Amino acid sequence: MRREISISKLQKILVILHIAQWVAIFLLLVNRILLQFEYIQQNVFNQPGFLLLFILIIIAYNSYINWKDFKEFIWWKEQSHMYKDAYENIKILNRDLRSQRHDFLNHIQILYSLVELEEYEEVGKYLHTLYGDIGKLNKHIKTAHPAINALLQAKSYDAQKRDVDYQVIIQTKLEELTVSPWELCRCLGNLIDNGLEAATEVQGLKQLTVTISEDLINYDFLISNTGVPSDFTSWEDWLEAGYTTKNKKGHGMGLYIVKRILDECQGKIEIHSSEERTIATIRIPKLAKE
């Protein structure tokens, strides 16, 4: 997880450095003016070598500050994408919850009418369909992080559109994560998207399973899907920036971003192939206890 920076301390340092920079420039200008009007004699501060060195130091300092600002800008831009994705997933989850509660009265009325008509077999079929629909929504809401719950639910809709059998098995609430839920959502989202795409291209059974578990020191996230990429033997290359097997603009950064996030929290990723199935495993250490 990215370490928090003391903003007040950083601001003080930057202010001091900028003041020192402008004071030095002001003194050099004053020295030059006094020399021009012959109030002082030629000195080292007016030598071309000293002035060139001073200018190079100023340029190097400002370049360093600009580079740090650029890196921070890129980081905040990525964070905004994570928040946006998580927000969209939560909106989908909330919309589905509101829709189901809004339709609840209609379901009761339909069931009541079927009972009045003594259509008990139809009642059973209707309840079976209704229970399955509600179960798909509720079975994913098990972790302590709404953003992760929303992501898992949103991906179930993607799986339904692709006609992929989507299952989620959660055996932990993820209460001791060392990575932010937003960054974990980005990791899981990329891997699930890749798994759904691979499963969609399979002839026959299309399946994807997400398993979240834990042991004494780690959290394990396993994404297993039918379908094996043709270039699986070089899966380590998938983690390099820009690598892609797809002829589509925008691909090639997903797994690289996953690896970078995991490196920051000392996590690991491995991808294995077993017969007609691809299995991606993420391992993230738990929060260290005192």
Chain center to CA of 106 = 39
pTM for this prediction: 0.56
Query: Over the stretch 76-116, which tens digit does the pLDDT of each residue have?
Result: 777 677 677 767 767 766 666 666 565 666 767 777 787 88
Residue 200 clears pLDDT 70, i.e. is over it: yes
Q: Which residues face 199 on adjacent strands?
A: none
Q: Which two tokens stand for residue 162?
A: 């692709």
Q: What domains, with CATH codes, occur in the chain? A: 7-80 (no CATH), 143-285 (3.30.565.10)
Give percent above pLDDT 90 in the chain.
15
Burial class (CB in 10 A: 0-12, 13-18, 19+), 27: exposed
The residue with tokens 């059998």 is 165
Q: Which two tokens stand for residue 121?
A: 């077999």
Alpha carbons 140 and 169: distance in angstroms, whole number? 8
